[in-house]
Structure 1
């Protein structure tokens, strides 16, 4: 009897790892979407883009498709000194940029935005920005000069001119009161005026997608899409004026305008519910803006680490990770950083050096190589889904533009530092684009600085030449 029991036990122990794998698979399977799901998503996105572009349908559209009043890519004649401001996350940058044909030189300084300012008043925020500008100009002996400025403001805005942008809603952890519904350039100019010790005029306000596009277009005129995959996600692209029902400018050549899609809000009406997981719902519920920016929350760096943490915690609670024992860090919301996902997926052998380092930082005491393998698997599922979801959006834009050759400018920490994001996107976009469309993904180098300067340089040139403004709400003379 004893021998029979031992034989049965040995057989059970052989089956157990497979059974545990099956349990793990069941808990994370919702992250794995079918090809048909991605194709359906692309059709949904195209419909949402057209809804946002339509004059009648835009008021109820979640994806707002704002015209940016930027009509063309640079021609290479832009030159001079320009300041650029870059506000799009917890860090704020001031840059001094010199353009001379294809040559670009840049100096920049990063300033932190404290948490109390991110959630304080608009006046506090813009006073802080003006103070940083003064500090930067002082350090570069620029206080006696009048320098044109470009402002990369990477939040959802309704652009009513090249240097007028109304903030529609804060995202990415900002909640400053008195800014939503206001012109951010006016608020910046008021803060500069309150100081009275710097002579700066903002000629253009853009978001980081336009900056990424313009920066790459400086060296590649086929660039027609700007994509951000960082703390948040968004995209812009060049659209024919005949398709822009919201356009209120002139119809002179070129008959096109860059559209800021604000695609992060896709799904705010429930159209993505069929691919949402319980983990996505939890992330949304505990976010600063529940029910909003659903597509962004399934892709971007602000949320990816938390999605992984929730999945790992669920596996742990089911006794499938860390022997069922976690840590205070692992159970703390927001403590599993998105950089951990990139680090864990960068492990290329069975030593799991990076993964073990992450576990140490999370104060996990008991873990095995199998735990490392499972964590790596969960990270890869979440990041692959994010890359594929972003690819759906890019493919939808490529199919909509129907140009033969398009360069896609991409910027953002998620795309830059994740070891597989680029390859995953190339693979999925290729599956989804119409036959005959060629594309390439190009890393945009400092688009939010250089791009803002290029747009400002064009605006400055137009103003100096005394040309007409680009529409009733466009560039002011």
Structure 2
């Protein structure tokens, strides 16, 4: 299939003229004008300013949390570090060995059962500590003091480099006794309670910051981190004079990475002008109605459900799957996964192999080639809106930073696996940024995990050179080089 830079031509290629007029009545809300995206940018910039000002931040939807990460890697970082990457139904434990620009990573992924996601904070952190203990034993690291960088991908108010209080759970987590508590302290206590390991948490970041730090290790122009996965969030490097909520000494460097938490953009109703009936229905039946409005229009946790709602509506109107069984997954909430959207849009010919496979999997029978075209059309509209909204957010950050050459580090399953997300974002960003600004989107490999270790390494480097004030949390005089024996 040829690449289409013109979305209108792409749509016309997918769906014949005789059907598109009827279908358009039910999907036109996903096709937003450039002026609408510019309005999104204007509103986002206003909301970000509210989050940065001391008097308005407590009530702001976009919290703009200072992260206490004030310097990027410079390539001189050395040492061996543990990293913990927690942000969804799985988490990873990593051993990261740094030697300048050379990095060796060994990792293990662990599952968080739903009963723990919906249980207590003690159960959650005990489970994580058990897995860390097993990882340390399996890698013959027992008996050594290990610094740990912690990626925690939920909204937090950071009070120090290794102190962050959870503001609210997202992504399906509802563990009791955690909101308002210091995440690092809860994990440190669990490690002490459940293991014999000597592990000390040196730094806590979210996945966007980890992604930025990971890419900045090799690209000094990288000042924005973006997550496009289960959820959606971004961070960027801001000058301290614009951060009224900064309570620490404004010493060199005069900058700090801001965790925007822009998934909550629109919670106050400012994005209601572009929300569709499907967005509203999804929100109504979510576990957090009225919250994370922007994230619900972009994130992988929600995109498949929006597609399902549209397909269900088209079926009800007699425009799709005329003989479908009412007991198939199409009519069950949450059963049309976002991975299906990526698979469907990966079809490159008129045979629709992927689309047919998805329809078979969800129990649709007796579908036609015309049905396949319509399903793909719906997917392209919804994923394009998501890509363009993310692009509008990035263009807002790029214009704020206002440098001539900027790299955006991106990570997340949606960005990695969707066949057109990258290109769609680039097209829209180019349309929305100030003239003369060059940018590039760079996939951040092992972003959030490696970035957490790099954040820990940078914090130790700066502490050893007295750049970090003594008011930051103690790091127990951790050595820069732990001295783990390399495997042959």
TM bracket (short chain): over 0.9
Q: CA deviation at 1:22?
A: 1.3
Q: CA deviation at 1:325?
A: 2.0
Aligned to 1:296: 295
**Do the aligned partners of 2:94 and 2:107 also contact (CA within 8 Å) in 1?**
yes
CA distance in 1, matches of 2:72, 2:261: 20
TM-score, length basis structure 1: 0.94
Matched, 1:178 2:169: no
What's the secondary structure of 1:110's corresponding residue?
A: strand
Q: CA deviation at 1:461?
A: 2.8
Aligned to 1:386: 386
Aligned length: 460
Aligned to 1:428: 428
TM-score, length basis structure 2: 0.92
Aligned to 1:344: 344
What's the secondary structure of 1:306's corresponding residue?
A: helix
**Do the aligned partners of 1:150 and 1:203 also contact (CA within 8 Å) in 2?**
yes
What's the secondary structure of 1:231's corresponding residue?
A: coil
- Greater radius of gyration (CA): 1
What's the secondary structure of 2:329's corresponding residue?
A: coil
CA distance in 2, matches of 1:247, 1:475: 20
**Do the aligned partners of 1:69 and 1:470 also contact (CA within 8 Å) in 2?**
no
Aligned to 1:217: 216
What's the secondary structure of 2:115's corresponding residue?
A: helix
**Do the aligned partners of 2:130 and 2:195 also contact (CA within 8 Å) in 1?**
no
Aligned to 1:234: 233
* CA separation of 1:430 and 1:466: change in aligned 2, threshold 3 A: closer
**Residues 406-451 of structure 1, C-alpha deviations (whole Å, 9 max, x = no match):** 1000000000000000000000000100111111000000111110
* CA separation of 1:454 and 1:467: change in aligned 2, threshold 3 A: same
**Residues 298-353 of structure 1, C-alpha deviations (whole Å, 9 max, x = no match):** 00000000000000000011111111524421111110000000000000110000
**Do the aligned partners of 1:229 and 1:414 also contact (CA within 8 Å) in 2?**
yes
* CA separation of 1:453 and 1:419: change in aligned 2, threshold 3 A: same
4+ runs deviating over 3 angstroms = 17-20, 468-477
**Do the aligned partners of 1:316 and 1:324 also contact (CA within 8 Å) in 2?**
no
What's the secondary structure of 2:27's corresponding residue?
A: helix
Aligned to 1:108: 107
- RMSD of aligned Cα (Å): 1.3
Aligned to 2:12: none
CA distance in 2, matches of 1:321, 1:472: 63
CA distance in 2, matches of 1:125, 1:310: 33
Aligned to 1:24: 23
CA distance in 1, matches of 2:421, 2:194: 44
**Residues 243-266 of structure 1, C-alpha deviations (whole Å, 9 max, x = no match):** 000011222222100000000000
Q: Unaligned 5+ residue runs, structure 2?
A: 1-15, 477-488
Q: How does 1:388-427 map to 2 (within 5 A)?
A: 388-427=388-427
Q: Unaligned 5+ residue runs, structure 1?
A: 1-16
**Do the aligned partners of 1:84 and 1:151 also contact (CA within 8 Å) in 2?**
yes
Q: How does 1:212-361 map to 2 (within 5 A)?
A: 212-326=211-325, 327-361=327-361
**Do the aligned partners of 1:162 and 1:475 also contact (CA within 8 Å) in 2?**
no
CA distance in 2, matches of 1:203, 1:427: 39
**Do the aligned partners of 1:148 and 1:460 also contact (CA within 8 Å) in 2?**
no
